[in-house]
């Protein structure tokens, strides 16, 4: 088996590097978790005790 030509190795490396650079950035997990916690807290304050107990007895 022969090795790849140098130009093909360079092309593959450039494509791989370009794919890594162009990959979309993910939001910081802590920022997303803080937003979720805020939504949960807001929802829990709006729910009545009966609604909260109803959530405990629901089957998933």
User: What are 30-45's pLDDT values in tens digits?
Assistant: 777 888 999 999 999 9
Per-residue confidence (pLDDT) for residue 2, from 0 to 100 = 72
CA quadruple 42, 44, 45, 47: dihedral sign: positive
Domain that holds residue 32: 28-60
pLDDT at residue 28 in the model: 66
Indicate yes or no: pTM above 0.85: no
Q: Is residue 4, in this structure, part of any structural domain at all?
A: no
Q: Considering the domain boundaries, does residue 1 fall inside one? A: no
Domain membership flag for residue 53: yes
Q: What is the pLDDT of residue 38?
A: 94
pLDDT score recorded for residue 46:
97
The number of domains in the chain is 1
- For residue 41, being part of any structural domain is answered with yes
Question: Does residue 36 fall inside a structural domain?
Answer: yes
The per-residue DSSP string of the chain comes to -PPPPHHHHHHHHHHHHHHHHHSPPPPPHHHHHHHHHHHHHHHHHHS-HHHHHHHHH---
What residue ranges of the chain have pLDDT lower than 50? Answer: none
For residue 51, being part of any structural domain is answered with: yes
**CA gap 31, 43 in Å, rounded:** 19
């Amino acid at each position: 088996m022969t090795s790849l030509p140098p130009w093909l190795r360079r092309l593959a490396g450039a494509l791989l590097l370009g794919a890594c650079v162009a990959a979309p950035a993910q939001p910081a997990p802590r920022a997303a978790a803080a937003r979720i916690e805020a939504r949960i807290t807001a929802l829990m304050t709006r729910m009545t005790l009966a609604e909260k107990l109803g959530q405990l007895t629901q089957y998933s």
